[in-house]
Amino acid sequence: MILLSHKPLREERSFYRISRERRKRVVQPMTLAIGALCDVNGYSQTGAFVIGADTLVSYGDASSNERASKLYQLPHGFFCLIAGDISKAHEFVGRLHTGMDLISSDGNEFIEPVKKCLDNSLEYVRFWTRKEILAEACITTDEFLHDRNLQGREELEERLKEANFSFRCILAGFAPHGTPVLFEGDCLKINEHASPGFVCIGTGAEAATDWLNFRKQHSFMSPQRTYYHVREALDFGRLSPFVGNTVNMQLLRHGKPPCDVANLNPLLQEWVKAHYPRTTDDLDQPQAWRDFAATFGIPASRLSESQTSAGPP
């Protein structure tokens, strides 16, 4: 039996005030998830990740739960974030977990097998989705694949395309030698994100992406500055009524256990007062890292790569 685990969630609210009135649109409720690469050193090919997702999960059109999250821990220290149907998410992650557990970390090839495993898991979701949609239309798979004169084919193909695009995921982790890996995919394709090094998926993703672009977020920023930007972006994504008020966030570093950075704290409140929406340049400084590390119980004896260098290579 596969246990899909995530860090405990907290009843946390926001420090940010969103004054714009939310536009009510008919959209499919999905999680807002963000994966941001940071602390990159081009010479040693190392880096870190800040990942986050809101914890609102909806069931159909009538009910929802603020105490859930589509953020899953996988073998080899990887994490997966999902925007899409909750039942499909569990099936998808189960298959992904099983496949990644079979990948050896001893050989020279690692990233390609991970990508192939991700693709195979998304393929399963695609077949499942097609089966559901065809069943609703009382059409067999054989008829859909071979009957070119099938009535309503164009409408079915459009529904399938929309459904395949609506299930999206982010996969973040490290190769055995420390190279950061950031994949984003739906049931049609998989993309790798290295520059500027962040990706947002799900409901509210457009607003979150706009905010990170406004902040000029990139992969050479420090973990603490990236954490602050992602926190802001998750909150800005709440312009969508389907994005929850609480979040689950993790800091990932190669060779170190993941760190839960979800809880609201006095340091974040202090940073919001000082930087929202002003410049955050000073958050790349060593003192900001020490404050951040102390807040979340991270050993701060060694500064991150980007903070000990003169800048991006």
Domains and CATH numbers, the chain: 33-308 (3.60.20.10)
Q: How confident is the model at residue 7 (pLDDT cuts 50, 70, 90)?
A: very low
- Is there a contact between 106 and 127 (Cβ–Cβ < 8 Å)? no
* SS3 call for 294: helix
Q: What is the pLDDT of residue 300?
A: 67
In sequence order, which residues have a C-beta less than 8 Å from that of residue 160 and are 6 or more positions away?
Answer: 129, 130, 133
Handedness of CA 37, 35, 13, 264 (dihedral sign): negative
Phi, psi of 172 (to 5 degrees): -130, 140
- Is there a contact between 60 and 222 (Cβ–Cβ < 8 Å)? no
Inform me whether the pLDDT recorded for 112 exceeds 90: yes
Q: How confident is the model at residue 268 (pLDDT cuts 50, 70, 90)?
A: very high
pLDDT per residue as tens digits for the range 153-201: 888 888 888 777 788 999 999 999 999 999 999 888 899 988 889 999 9
In whole angstroms, what is the distance from residue 291 CA to residue 283 CA?
Answer: 10
pLDDT per residue as tens digits for the range 245-260: 899 999 999 999 999 9
Mean pLDDT of all residues belonging to the chain? 83
Q: How confident is the model at residue 241 (pLDDT cuts 50, 70, 90)?
A: confident
Q: What is the pLDDT of residue 290?
A: 95
Angle at 263 between CA 30 and CA 17, to 5 degrees: 65
* 154, amino acid identity: E
pLDDT per residue as tens digits for the range 32-72: 999 999 999 877 789 999 999 998 876 655 456 776 778 99
Q: Where are the beta strands (DSSP E) in 23-120?
A: 33-41, 46-54, 57-59, 63-65, 71-73, 79-83
Q: Are strands 63-65 and 57-59 parallel, antiparallel or unpaired?
A: antiparallel
pTM as predicted: 0.83
Helices (H), 137-204: 141-146, 153-166
Give the mean pLDDT of 115-129.
91
In whole angstroms, what is the distance from residue 240 CA to residue 278 CA?
Answer: 24
Q: What is the pLDDT of residue 73?
A: 96
Q: How confident is the model at residue 115 (pLDDT cuts 50, 70, 90)?
A: very high
Q: In terms of C-beta density within 10 A (0-12 exposed, 13-18 middle, 19 or more buried), how is residue 15 classed?
A: middle
